[in-house]
Amino acid sequence: MRKTKHTATPSLTCTTRFRVRFSEVDSMHIVWHGNYALYIEDGREAFGCQYPGLGYGDIRASGYGAPIVDMQVQFRGPLRLGDEAVIETRYIDTDAAKICFEYEISRPDGTPVATAGTVQVFTDCRGELELVSPAFYLEWKRRWGVK
């Protein structure tokens, strides 16, 4: 995973728990790697609920989209049917017009399962890339003490 230089800004994190379902495991009885994208999405969605104003509905209501343009996942250990896991979603501040998150997926005892990172950019209602952070995003940062 690309290392991000952390600044002195407060760390906004959200912790979400989940249990591995039958539909998420492969023929080897471990979580199929593609499902980690869904777990990451669950973490991002929970983050948007915990820190209102940055959820997908909020972004859309502000007239923007925020597609993912980069995602990396590093696997550290398997999850199996019925396992419980925890995903910590951490907002990474940047001056660029994008939203960056890092994720740590672990077992409840802290044993690492995967680490990940995503980058989202802003698009206008026509799907055109925004090169400057939208006003609603700057306000969200101020509200949560990021800027």
Whole-angstrom distance, CA of residue 28 vs CA of residue 30: 6
DSSP, collapsed to helix, strand or coil, labels residue 98 as strand
What is the β-pairing status of strands 84-92 and 13-19? antiparallel
Per the DSSP assignment, residues forming a β-bridge with 104 are: 88, 115
- In the annotation, is 26 catalytic? yes
Q: Measuring CA to CA, which residue among 103, 47, 108, 42 is closest to residue 75?
A: 103
Annotated catalytic residue within 26, 58, 70, 83: 26
Sign of the dihedral defined by the CA atoms of residues 33, 15, 90, 64, in that order: positive
Query: Which residues are known to be catalytic?
Result: 26
